[in-house]
């Protein structure tokens, strides 16, 4: 089965690049950066570097992802003539590096002023609005990562500790481990019921990796709690590939502070859908002329109790997925979520399409509900999801992610999505 991944797009760059570090930038305010190339907290790829720059003097720390109990390392340095010089550590265990500033996409980037061929360069980066709690707590551990951003975590368990413990620690005992039954598919088994099997695997001397299912929205908190368990080496996002479809939107449009507002979510979803289904362009506020219906719109409790928008949507295929000659009718669920790729001022909307039905188009008027017949077509559902998230990202000037194993061909004039995760911001921009 083939997979269509939309090419990089969807970022709205700032009006101009940031230039070199200006004197006094961020004076008196500590700023957290993610850093690659600093091998202090293996096996994590990312360290959290917090810098306080004031009057040309720099102080700060290098720490592991939030929740890891290892002590932070002190940072000192200077800023002058557009160069940031940092000393990481103290005494004989100190390391000196020099950085200049750049910008890629919506990220502020600090790069080494000179790199050694064959040696991983150190890069520090942060989005313009800073990081969300989830971004600082959730990282991935593989260069070829393409896993889901929510609903699961990957645990690395220390082999020496497993072999010496006859029962799972209380914090781990009731975690739901994802397993593959002989008959295929996936299932969940409590860690305490698999502990003996994991201990046997650890006799080889190699650490043991398992994936656990967690309630959507609890990933960051769960990762922080589990990292404090001595038997746990690392907690990351899963490395296996899966379906990921989402659009990033400004947090303030559906939330009051840290809490999603039912009223704001419903108003935003209905208003956005009305523009999309009417054939309106994402860059402008005017609605189009196409016919549509939004029925039974409501906000319901989703996994973990977080609010979700749900409605029955009817619209022309030309608007819902850039199709032709048909009407689409389906149940749409929009789940707000803070993912590892969100900044402090953004949320992600994750769509789900169900109860898909279709009717032939014979004119501009909406058919009666009885004219719609069930459609079992994953490509149509994928097309609706892709159209929705790419349209939202274009409308908000943000980004979307559309990663699917459904054999889906984008329409010629479709908008596209980027699949760049937060800690890949240091990669060169090909555009």
pLDDT for 7 equals: 31
Count the neighbouring beta carbons within 10 Å of the beta carbon of residue 19: 12
pLDDT for 5 equals: 33
Averaged over successive runs of 10 residues, the pLDDT of the chain (431 residues) comes to 31 24 48 93 93 94 95 96 95 95 78 91 90 90 71 94 93 95 89 96 95 92 94 89 88 94 97 96 85 96 89 96 95 94 92 96 89 92 96 93 84 82 56 38
3-state SS class at 222: helix
* One-character DSSP codes across 3-41: --BPPS------SS---SPPTTTTTT--EEEEEES-TTS
Q: Does the 31-131 domain belong in CATH 2.40.128? A: yes
Dihedral of CA 228/229/234/237: which sign?
negative
pLDDT for 24 equals: 34
Q: Do 291 and 282 touch, CB atoms closer than 8 A?
A: no
Place of tokens 């990957």: 154
Question: What are the residue ranges spanned by the domains of the chain?
Answer: 31-131, 152-236, 244-424
pTM score over 0.85: no
49 φ/ψ angles, rounded to the nearest 5 degrees: -105, 120
């Amino acid at each position: 089965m083939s997979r269509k991944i939309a090419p990089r797009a969807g970022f709205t760059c700032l009006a101009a690049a940031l230039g070199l570090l200006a004197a006094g930038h961020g004076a008196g305010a500590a700023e957290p950066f993610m850093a690659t190339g600093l091998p202090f907290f293996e096996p994590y790829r990312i360290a959290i570097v917090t810098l306080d720059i004031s009057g040309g003097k720099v102080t700060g720390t290098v720490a592991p992802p939030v929740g890891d109990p290892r002590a932070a390392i002190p940072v000192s340095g200077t800023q002058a003539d557009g160069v940031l010089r940092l000393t990481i550590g103290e005494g004989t265990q100190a390391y000196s590096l020099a950085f200049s500033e750049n910008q890629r996409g919506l990220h502020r980037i600090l790069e080494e002023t000179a790199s050694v061929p064959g040696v991983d360069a150190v890069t520090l980066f942060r989005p313009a609005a800073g990081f969300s709690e989830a971004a600082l707590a959730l990282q991935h551990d593989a260069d070829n990562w393409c896993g889901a951003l929510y609903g699961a975590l990957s645990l690395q368990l220390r082999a020496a500790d497993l072999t010496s413990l006859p029962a799972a620690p209380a914090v781990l005992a009731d975690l739901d481990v994802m397993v593959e039954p002989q008959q295929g598919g996936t299932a969940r088994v409590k860690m305490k019921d698999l502990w003996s099997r994991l201990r046997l695997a650890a006799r080889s001397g190699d650490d043991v990796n398992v994936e656990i299912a967690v309630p959507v929205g609890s990933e960051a908190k769960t990762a922080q709690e589990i990292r404090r368990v001595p038997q746990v080496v690392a907690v990351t996002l899963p490395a296996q590939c899966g379906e990921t479809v989402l659009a990033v939107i400004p947090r303030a449009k559906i939330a009051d502070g840290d809490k999603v507002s039912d009223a704001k979510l419903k108003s935003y979803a209905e208003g956005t859908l009305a523009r999309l289904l009417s054939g309106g362009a994402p860059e402008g506020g005017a609605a189009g002329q196409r016919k549509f219906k939004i029925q039974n719109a409501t906000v319901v409790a989703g996994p973990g109790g977080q609010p979700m928008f749900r409605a029955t949507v009817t619209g022309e295929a030309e608007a819902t997925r850039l199709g032709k000659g048909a009407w689409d009718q389906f149940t749409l669920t929009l789940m707000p979520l803070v993912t590892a790729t969100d900044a402090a001022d953004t949320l992600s909307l994750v769509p789900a399409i169900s109860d898909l039905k279709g009717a032939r188009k014979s004119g501009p008027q909406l058919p009666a509900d009885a004219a719609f017949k069930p459609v079992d077509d994953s490509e149509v559902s994928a097309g609706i999801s892709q159209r929705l998230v790419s349209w939202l990202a274009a409308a908000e000037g943000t980004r979307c992610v559309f990663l699917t194993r459904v054999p889906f061909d984008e329409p010629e004039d479709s908008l596209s999505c980027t699949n760049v995760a937060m800690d890949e911001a240091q990669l060169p921009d090909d555009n």
